[in-house]
Structure 1
Amino acid sequence: MSTAATRTAGPDHLWSVDEHLDDILATVRPLEPIELQLLDAQGCVLVEDITVPVSLPPFDNSSMDGYAVRVTDVAGASEEFPAVLTVIGDVAAGQAEPLHVGPGETARIMTGAPLPPGAEAVVPVEWTDGGLGGGPVTGMRARSQAPEAAGGHVHVYRSAEARAHVRAKGSDVKAGDRALDAGTILGPPQIALLAAIGRGTVRVRPRPRVVVMSTGSELVQPDEQLGDGQIYDSNSFALTAAARDAGAIAYRVGAVADDAETLRDTIEDQLVRADLLVTTGGVSVGAYDVVKEALSSVGDEDEEGAGIDFRKLAMQPGKPQGFGSIGPDHIPLLALPGNPVSSYVSFELFVRPAIRALMGLDDVHRPTVRATLTTDRALASPKGRRQFLRGTYADGKVTPVGGAGSHLVAALALADALIVVPEDVESVEPGTEVQVVLLG
């Protein structure tokens, strides 16, 4: 790393949440754009404005199964005095040479088919005795036998105004209109629009590839038998899911034992498929803090500017953090604490914005709101630390769930928000308005 903040911060510097995040976002750069097929571009961010080359729909077409008519020919039509028109043929969707509807004539038309020349409106089949799969209008008397496709006649029992049941050319978008702006995330509706205007490929920033690994010899994979002193590895699952939720292509690596050489080898093996590396565990001051041991001196061996800086942040949970870059391509690496709540909160505050920055998004943050704290007692917060408490938010109110402990996974599963208590606040009374980060 080579940011100004890193160069000037000493080893005893207590970083604020904002300083740490600013350092990350100053280092992480959006991925280079590539051209992708539409379905491969889902979830990616556009890097170009998309202009409509052809109007949608590209021609006037019917919104109903029915009959294409001239307005004067059905004026005054009723149950008692129906208009009788000669059927000159059928107009189907995709038909290249539509019929011409003259005075006293009609063409049977299908939904989506082009309105034939001479016709001004469409009367639904239910208004006729045509029998195109729909029954007559409720209350109408029995109809005569359905007409032949051409040469027969059809009775029309209602009048129609000009353009009735007609989708006008360009009524969706017109040629030359801007369909999508650069910076748009491509979801299913956007993919549909691109296909509808004839775009088979699109230029986007690819979804970041994020590799997640947890460390600790005590970790066991789900479905395996727990031994004495062992726990199941939940962090790598939580963070991989969170990375996917943020828009990344995420790869989960099995837990790495507390061995520095093994961890370094594992990380080096993963560099080939990573735009961002995330580790969890081993970043505090314990005897087996393997991530610090493995990566503290990595800058001595890699290209100039690489290296991992381990820090203390003025926050709870999540005080120990690591950030830097590794390998010849300077792949960003965020080292998170190992307690489950600390790990997840750190992801939301630091890793998720980094992923969104790699995607090239302007707004990388979760939405925040002000909400009234609903609780039966005051919330305590350590002086000089920004605290993030789990909560549930609804209708302008937020309620804490669980306690402040960084191991309370069950409470975390119930939360859809983080309650933010500033560094200079040591107690928050019920009814106080607080800042809330929305996670859902």
Structure 2
Amino acid sequence: MTATADAEAAANELTPLADYLGNVLRRLRALPPLDLDLTQAHGNVLAEDVVAPHAFPAFDQAAVDGYAARWEDISGGGRGPSYVPAPSGTPGGRTIRLNVVGDLGAASWRPVRLTPGSCFSVAAGAPLPVAADVVVPVEWTDQGMAAVEIFRTPKRGYGVRRAGEELPAGTLLARAGTYVSPALVAVFAATGIGHVVVRPSPRVVIVATGDELVDVGRGSQPGQVVDANSHALTAAAAEVGALAYRVGICDDDPEGLRGLLEDQTLRADLIITTGGTGTGPGDMVRRILSRREGGRAGPVTFTDVALYPGTALGFGTVGAEEVPVVCLPGDPGAALIGFEVLARPAIQLLAGAEPVFRPSVRAHLLETVSSPAGLREFRPAHVAERRGGGYTVQPLSGGPFTLSGLAEANGLLVLGERVTTAAAGSTVDVLLLDRRR
């Protein structure tokens, strides 16, 4: 049997990534809903539909600074209802001049009424007088105080916002599953909403494991590896919208690891570990969390998945509260890819967000690449929009294990299990990474 055939046979024993993800995500449920004050709701996902209890605007109001008037009183001075400059007098010599009978600001509340030939000076946001159907912008007038002369005639309704014109009471403002953005917060507030029911942001705890790990601030040397993973994964979890907590480094001590995970279940909705998922002599996480006790399987199942890089992934629950735990490989590149593939969708599902996966596009490949047989590869790449439509994708040098490539990438080139070579010019799938720069 050839080396290629051996590799294909080994790959056939791996669990397809799609099957593995489906099995894992079916075991997760969105967190219970929580009623939050509007100022705390931003960044969460709505758990219920939200309907406007009040109209917006709540009353007829001026949209611009100017003079609230009756259009029939001013239309004789122009050439019909248009924005074209008109002379200040009619052919008969009559000047468009209105008496200014009062001033109205945004805090005015007493109802007033216009009489023929009169107007009110109004500020934007001020309630309109009864019978007013136009606001003449202040710059279209001589800005008079007791009387005003109008130089241009706006259309009927110009500068006027009617009650409920934008959002009548009873309007569906947002459906369950909608992300609460700053603009949506403004819509809720404007229609009289002070609280909304949301899915809370998941609390995610990140633990790096390994006797060889040392904290940042120094260089690696033989026998020591700087812990890049827990810092990177904490940032990745925060980027998704989770409340991320970095616990730090845990040595390869069975009792220490069990105790640490048990303690973290009190404040976590999801625990992510990194390192020790393989079958080597130092891979304690897999050995400890998959150990059978009392005839029962361990709390975490480790699966060799058809994924490149990082085939070994773990998933299960720990503690009396059965908090989900995701176990990622120790290589930094494999850990970040594993986060994208498994941990990120899990966080999205817990948060009630849809879709749980990154958006993807089909792109024109600019360079021929090879890929391991039987594995679904995620390779750092740069994707760009083509002039005239569509996308191109350029694989970044170094392959999927390079941290520099992941730092530069704005997409992940996806090569399926049956792809061993993708030729330049072919069309491939690319996951779009959200790089907020």
Relative to the length of structure 2, the TM-score reads 0.88
8 Å CA contact 2:209–2:249 kept in 1: the answer is yes
* Counterpart for residue 41 of structure 1: 41
- 2:133 maps to which of 83, 104, 120: 120
Equivalent in the alignment of 2:396:
401
CA contact (8 A) 2:51 2:170 kept: yes
Paired with 1:161 and 1:172, the residues of 2 have a C-alpha distance of 20
1:333 to 321, 325, 349: 325
Aligned match for 2:314, one of 309, 318, 322:
322
Corresponding residue number in structure 2 for 1:185: 179
Secondary structure in 2 matching 1:75: helix
Deviations 1:228-263 (Å, cap 9, x if unpaired)?
542322111211111122221111111222222222
Contact 2:141 / 2:149 at 8 angstroms: preserved in 1? yes
Change over 3 Å in CA distance of 1:57–1:305 after alignment to 2: farther
* Paired residue secondary structure (2:208): strand
- 1:223 CA drift (Å): 2.4
Deviation of 1:413 (Å): 0.5
Shift of 1:319: 0.8
Asked whether 1:307 is paired with 2:320, we answer no
Structure-1 separation of matches of 2:370 and 2:117: 84
Amino acid at match of 2:380: R
- Mapped to 2, the partners of 1:210 and 1:267 lie a distance apart of 12
- The CA distance in 2 between the partners of 1:176 and 1:167, in whole Å, is 19
CA–CA separation in structure 2 for the residues paired with 1:26 and 1:305? 19
Residue type of the alignment partner of 2:39? L
What secondary structure is seen at the aligned counterpart in 2 of 1:14? Answer: coil
Contact 2:380 2:400 in 1 (8 A): no
1:220 Cα shift? 2.5
Q: How do residues 122-201 of structure 1 correspond to structure 2 at under 5 angstroms?
A: 122-130=135-143, 146-147=144-145, 152-201=146-195
Cα deviation for residue 358 of structure 1 reads 0.8
Partner in structure 1 of residue 9 of structure 2: none
SS of 2:36 mapped into structure 1: strand
SS of the residue 2:31 aligns to: coil
In the alignment, residue 73 of structure 2 is paired with which amino acid? D
Per-residue CA distance 1:388-440 (angstroms, 9 max, x = gap): 2111111211111122352x111111111111111122212211211111122
2:361 to 363, 369, 388: 369
> For 2:373, which of 383, 390, 398 is the aligned residue?
383
Contact kept? 2:237, 2:243, Cα under 8 Å: yes
Q: C-alpha displacement at 1:225, in angstroms? A: 6.2
String of CA shifts for 1:332-358, please: whole Å, max 9, x gaps: 111000111111111111111111111
Letter in 1 for 2:186: A
Residue 370 of structure 2 corresponds to residue 357 of structure 1: no
SS of equivalent to 1:344: helix
Q: Distance in 1 between matches of 2:120 and 2:277?
A: 76
SS in 2 for 1:76: helix
Change (3 A) 1:326 1:165: same
Aligned match of 2:99 in 72, 86, 89? 86
Contact 1:306–1:327 (Cα < 8 Å) also in 2? no
**Normalised TM-score (structure 1):** 0.87
Q: CA deviation at 1:367?
A: 1.3
- Contact in 2 for aligned 1:388/1:419 (Cα 8 Å): yes
Q: CA deviation at 1:301?
A: 7.5
* Residue deviations 1:62-109 (CA, integer Å, cap 9, x gap): 111111111222223355424222111111113111321101111110
- 1:314 maps to a residue whose letter is A
In structure 2, the gaps of 5 or more residues are 1-11, 78-85, 90-94, 386-390
Q: What does 1:218-297 correspond to in 2, within 5 Å? A: 218-224=212-218, 228-297=222-291
Matched AA of 1:284:
G
Q: Alpha-carbon deviation of 1:361?
A: 2.9
Q: Is the 8 A contact 2:289 2:298 kept in 1?
A: no
SS of the aligned residue for 2:266 comes to helix
Report how many residues are paired.
405
Task: Tell whether 2:204 aligns with 1:210.
Answer: yes
Q: Distance in 1 between matches of 2:13 and 2:119?
A: 84
Instruction: Indicate how the Cα distance of structure 1 residues 107 and 305 shifts in structure 2: closer, same or farther if over 3 A, else same.
Output: farther
Question: Hey, what's the Cα distance between the residues in 2 that align with 1:348 and 1:340?
Answer: 12
- What corresponds to 1:413 in structure 2? 407
Which is further off, 357-366 or 72-81?
A: 72-81
CA RMSD of aligned residues (A): 2.0
Contact 1:76 1:158 in 2 (8 A): no
1:385: Cα distance to partner?
1.4
Q: Match for residue 425 of structure 1?
A: 419
Q: Give the Cα–Cα distance (whole angstroms) in 1 for the partners of residues 399 and 152 of structure 2.
A: 71
| 8 Å Cα contact 1:296-1:309 kept in structure 2 | yes
Counterpart position of 2:334: 342
Which is worse superposed, 73-82 or 415-424?
73-82
Give unmatched runs, 5+ long, in structure 1: 1-11, 131-145
Q: Report the Cα offset of residue 224 of structure 1.
A: 4.4
CA positional deviation for 1:180: 0.8
The residue identity in structure 2 corresponding to 1:208 is: P
Contact 1:38 1:202 in 2 (8 A): yes
DSSP 3-state at the match of 2:301: strand
Counterpart check, 1:20 vs 2:20: yes
In structure 1, distance between residues paired with 2:297 and 2:55: 51
Q: 2:382 aligns with which of 392, 395, 400?
A: 392
Aligned equivalents of 1:365, 1:227: Cα separation in 2: 37
- SS in structure 1 of the partner of residue 255 of structure 2: helix
Deviation for aligned residue 1:330: 0.9
User: 2:52 aligned with 1:57, yes or no?
Assistant: no
Deviation at 1:290, TM superposition (A): 2.2
